[in-house]
Amino acid sequence: MRMAGWTWACGALLAAGAVLAPVNAQELSEKATQTFMEYAWQLTPAAFTKPDGTTIQIDKKKRGDVMVPLDVARKVIRAGRLSAHAQVCELAQDQSDNHNSLMRRHLQSKKWTPQQLVYINQLHLTTVMLLTGRIMLVEKQGDKEVVVEEEKRKAQTCSEEQKQKVKELIAAYVKSGPSLASKAASARATDAQPAAAAPVKKE
């Protein structure tokens, strides 16, 4: 069974001209945003070890302590959509800059706990995986579970016009945020970011 929202997500990426449209946080309804947040929570690890060896523990029984406000989640999902478009268009550096800009914003705001930063990154990652076809919903004994698919899907295409538009959108997003020029600052942002959730094999 495909997860709810799959049709919307793929349509947002593949519909004619969709990748070219400005991505506004208001495009997502409250219900759709909460659905993305739920998928991301299911894929959020109980423990994350940063490159410096520090481990961040996340109590999966205390979801409320880790969640971020709805308006913040919308902005994270918007950034995730841009990253997904960049991935489809094979713009690796732009995708990385977009992701780093997102995390730098939240690191510098000093509003969030380490656990919330892990969740923010997971919400971004989940959005990318959703839009690029790497997530599905399976049922196990009546319960729905979000899993990461291991098999490759048919490659999505990106025209030169779309690629240029994505580059422009990401450049504008990065320009509106903290500078990415500092290698040390970029390293700190990277340290705060968890790796992709490990694929869950289907039984």
Q: What is the DSSP string of 116-139?
A: HHHHHHHHHHHHHHHHTT-EEEEE
DSSP bridge partners of 135: 148
Q: Give the C-alpha separation, 89 to 156, whole Å.
A: 8
Is 196 within a domain?
A: no
Q: Cα separation of 113 and 192, whole Å?
A: 11
Tell me the average confidence (pLDDT) per consecutive run of 10 residues in the chain, 203 residues long: 38 36 59 92 92 93 96 95 94 96 95 96 94 69 56 72 95 92 50 43 37
Rounded to whole angstroms, the Cα distance separating 87 from 110 reads 29
Q: Token pair of 55, please?
A: 């481990």
> Does some domain include residue 1?
no
pTM of the prediction?
0.75
Between CA 143 and CA 75 the distance in angstroms is 30
Residue 145 lies inside a defined structural domain of this protein: yes
Q: Could you list the residue range(s) of the whole structural domain that residue 160 is in?
A: 6-191
- Residue 72 pLDDT: 96
Q: Give dist(CA 18, CA 203) in Å, integer.
A: 35
3 three-state secondary structure: coil
CA distances from 144 to 4, 30, 105, 108, 128 (A): 11, 21, 33, 36, 20
Residue 200 inside a domain? The answer is no
- 130 located within any domain: yes
- Does the residue 187 lie in any domain? yes
Q: How many domains does the chain have?
A: 1
Residue 47 is predicted with a pLDDT of: 94
Number of helices (H) and strands (E), helices first, in the chain?
7, 4
pLDDT recorded at residue 180? 82
Residue 71 counted as domain residue: yes
